[in-house]
């Protein structure tokens, strides 16, 4: 099947590099095509053209809804990996050092600019204060700077809009009674750099608990019971991934079943890979990427009934 890929105009180089690798590997000309330019013009034409039988989109839920609407007249197959709003749930029986390491990795990879990034961190009350203190100490060791440098942990955000969104969420959380334990402002490294930040006692009605952040800000809040945190963590239109840290085997299974997410990671962060059916539920997407399940959207089942009499 031939493919036309349209990368974001903000990050086009990886798709162009992939096309180069395909050419080196011997893909025939015209099988894998990369088209750069204005998204509204290019993607709109793709949606309208009946020759395009299926479309896979990775991006915001808002744009995903628009593509789905524009693709409806031609009844395209759609695979969509959309927004995330991942909860990270730490129970009192968790190993504290391990939980903090998981929180660092789940929140601050790619400076928080990741649909899999932990956006809401729920910590059971008996270890809440100790977790916040240990988490703050680890965050303060993160180094901000050139994203291509080996010793950098936090690089720049994508654009000024991203920084302003982070600033708005932090200000809103503080206005709702949250405490800033570390960070909380732009970094001196440059205008697109924001300090790795920890907000504690964040209320559920704060913007950061309702909207994806896409930046290096961790929002932490306490909880008491398993049933309570399941309800709070699932009370969102998003459902991509959830993280759980607990040493209780029975609870691991219960949380894996109860959380309303397409993927649940228990005591780990890394969950992606070629054999993995990557994808979410609700407003986080349609279908799966990867594994045999990821091929289903690009194949048609044909039923042949043969009379052999």
37-65 pLDDT, tens digit per residue, is 999 889 999 999 999 999 999 999 999 99
Catalytic residue, chosen from 1, 47, 81, 247, is 81
* Cα Rg of the chain, angstroms: 21
User: Terminus-to-terminus CA distance in the chain, angstroms?
Assistant: 37
Which segments in the chain show pLDDT lower than 50?
none
CATH number 3.40.309.10 is the correct assignment for the domain at 86-266: yes
Contacts of residue 124, defined as CB under 8 A and 6 or more positions apart, other chains included, come to: 90, 91, 92, 222, 223, 224, 229
Q: Is 115 a catalytic residue?
A: yes
User: Which H or E run contains 81?
Assistant: strand 77-81
The predicted pLDDT at position 11 comes to: 87
Q: Is 4 exposed, middle or buried (0-12, 13-18, 19+ CB in 10 A)?
A: middle
DSSP states of 180-233: EEE--SB-TT-TT-B--EEEES--TTSGGGTS---SSEEEEEEE--HHHHHHHH
**CB 194 within 8 Å of CB 175:** no
Other beta carbons within 10 angstroms of residue 30's beta carbon come to: 9
Instruction: Kindly write down the DSSP assignment for every residue of 3-58, as one continuous string.
Output: EEE---TTS-HHHHHHHHHHHHHTPPTTTEEE--S-HHHHHHHHHH-TT--EEEEE
What is the CATH number that goes with domain 3-82+278-298?
3.40.605.10
> What are the sequence ranges of the domains in the chain?
3-82+278-298, 86-266
**Beta bridge pairs of residue 285:** 81
Residue 10: per-residue pLDDT:
85
Examine the residue annotation and report whether 1 is marked as an active-site residue of this protein: no
Please give the full DSSP string across 84-152, using - where no structure is assigned: --EEEEE-TTS-HHHHHHHHHHHHHGGGG-STTSEEEEEEEGGGHHHHHHHHHHHHTTPPBS-TTSTT-
**pLDDT value of position 287:** 94
pLDDT in tens, 149-176: 999 999 999 999 999 999 999 999 999 9
Token duo for residue 220: 């932490």
Rounded to whole angstroms, how far apart are CA atoms 217 and 231? 23
Q: Could you say which of 47, 115, 212, 289 is catalytic? A: 115
């Amino acid at each position: 099947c031939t493919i036309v890929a349209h990368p974001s105009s903000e990050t086009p180089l990886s798709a162009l590099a992939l096309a180069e690798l395909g050419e080196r590997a011997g893909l025939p000309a015209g099988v894998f095509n990369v088209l750069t330019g204005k998204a509204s013009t290019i993607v709109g034409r793709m949606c309208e053209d009946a020759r395009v039988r299926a479309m896979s989109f990775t991006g915001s839920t808002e744009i995903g809804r628009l593509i789905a609407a524009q693709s409806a007249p031609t009844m395209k197959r759609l695979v969509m990996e959309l927004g995330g709003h991942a909860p990270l749930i730490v129970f009192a029986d968790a190993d504290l050092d391990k939980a903090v390491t998981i929180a660092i990795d789940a929140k601050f990879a790619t400076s928080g600019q990741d649909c899999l990034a932990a956006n809401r961190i729920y910590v059971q009350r008996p270890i809440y204060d100790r977790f916040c203190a240990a988490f703050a100490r680890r965050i303060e060791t993160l180094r901000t700077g050139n994203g291509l440098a080996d010793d950098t942990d936090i690089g720049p955000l994508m654009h000024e809009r991203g920084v302003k969104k982070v600033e708005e969420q932090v200000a809103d959380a503080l206005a709702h009674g949250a405490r800033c334990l570390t960070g909380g402002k732009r970094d001196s490294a440059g205008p697109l750099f924001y300090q790795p930040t920890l907000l504690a006692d964040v209320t559920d009605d704060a913007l950061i608990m309702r909207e994806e952040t896409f930046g290096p800000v961790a929002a932490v809040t306490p909880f008491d019971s398993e049933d309570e945190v399941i309800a709070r963590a699932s009370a969102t239109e998003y459902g991509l991934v959830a993280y759980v840290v607990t040493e209780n085997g029975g609870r691991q299974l219960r949380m894996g079943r109860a959380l309303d997410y397409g993927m649940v990671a228990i005591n780990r962060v890394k969950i992606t890979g070629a054999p993995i059916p990557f994808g979410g539920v609700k407003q986080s997407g349609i279908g799966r990427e990867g594994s045999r399940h990821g091929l289903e959207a690009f194949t048609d089942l044909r039923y042949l009934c043969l009379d052999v009499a």
